Amino acid sequence: MKPFVAVGAILLVILNGLLLVPATVGHTFPIALVAFVIALLLLVFAILSRDSGTSRPAVRVATPAPPPAPIQPPAPVAKQSEAEIVAFFSLLQEKGRLIDFLMEDIARYEDAEVGAAARVIHQGCQQVIKEYFSISAISEAQEGAQVTVPAGYSPDQYRLVGKLTGNPPFTGTLLHKGWKTEFVKLPRIATTERLPSIAPAEVELK
C-alpha cells in the first residue's frame, strides 16, 4: 500500500468521525467538503500511480540460452543376424565343403567325379542340418499319392497348382511332400560391425 493512501484513509476516518460529534454540527459542510477533496485526491493519485506502473516496462533479466546439445553420430548397426547366417554357411563349408562345391566350375568335371563329390557334400551338410534344425515333412503321404488339402490351410505350407475351382477342401496328387522346421538353433555370434569370414584362407608354412 502507498503511504499517501494510508494517510488519506486516516484523514477520511477522522473527518467522518467529526461529523458524528454534536459540537461540530455547525461545521458539517466544511468538514464534508474537506473529506470530498481528500477522497478526490486519493482517486487522482491512485489513477496516476496505476498509469505510471503500467507504462513502465518491466525489466527482464536475460538468461543465457543453454548451449545446443551436440549431435551424436548414429550408432553403428550391429550385423547380428547377418553374422549368424554367415556362421551357418561356415558350418556347411567346414562339414561338407558346400561353398567350395558351389563356387567351383563343375562343367569341366565328369559326371562320375561330380557324383562322388556330391556324396561327401551330402553327408557333411546333412549332419549340420540335423544338428541346427528340426526338419520334418509337411505331408506324410508318399509323393504321387492322392491327398486332401483341408479348409483353412496355410498358403506357406501348401502350394496348389493346376486347375483350381470351388472351395477347400481340395483333393489332388502330391507332387512334393514339403518341409517344415519346428526350431532353429543357429550358432550365436557376438555383436560385430564386420561380417565374419565363411572360411579362412589356409596357408601352409615350410
On whether residue 107 sits in a domain, the answer given is yes
Report the mean per-residue pLDDT for the chain: 78
Is residue 95 domain-shared with residue 28, that is, in the same domain? no
Confidence category of residue 61, pLDDT binned at 50, 70, 90: low
The one-letter amino acid at 187: P
Q: What is the pTM of this model?
A: 0.54
Q: Which residue has the higher pLDDT, 41 or 127?
A: 127
CB 133 within 8 A of CB 184: yes
Winning range, highest mean pLDDT, from 67-71, 96-100, 164-168 = 96-100
Share of the chain above pLDDT 70, in %: 62
Report the C-alpha gap between 47 and 25 in whole angstroms. 34
Q: How many domains does the chain have?
A: 3
Is residue 131 domain-shared with residue 146, that is, in the same domain? no
Range of the domain at 147: 139-177
Residue 97 reports pLDDT greater than 80: yes
Q: Which of 121, 54, 94, 96 is nearest to 197 (CA)?
A: 94
Is residue 195 domain-shared with residue 98, that is, in the same domain? yes
The pLDDT of residue 186 is 79
CB 42 within 8 A of CB 5: yes
In this structure, what is the dihedral angle of CA atoms 90, 93, 94, 100, given to the nearest 10 degrees?
A: -140
Is residue 189 domain-shared with residue 128, that is, in the same domain? yes
Q: Which residue has the higher pLDDT, 68 or 77?
A: 68
Q: At 199, phi and psi to the nearest 5?
A: -150, 135
Mean pLDDT over 22-30 rounds to: 59
Q: At 156, phi and psi to the nearest 5?
A: -80, -5
Is residue 23 domain-shared with residue 110, that is, in the same domain? no
SS3 43: helix
On whether residue 72 sits in a domain, the answer given is no
Task: List alpha helices for the chain, DSSP H.
Answer: 3-18, 28-55, 80-96, 98-103, 111-132
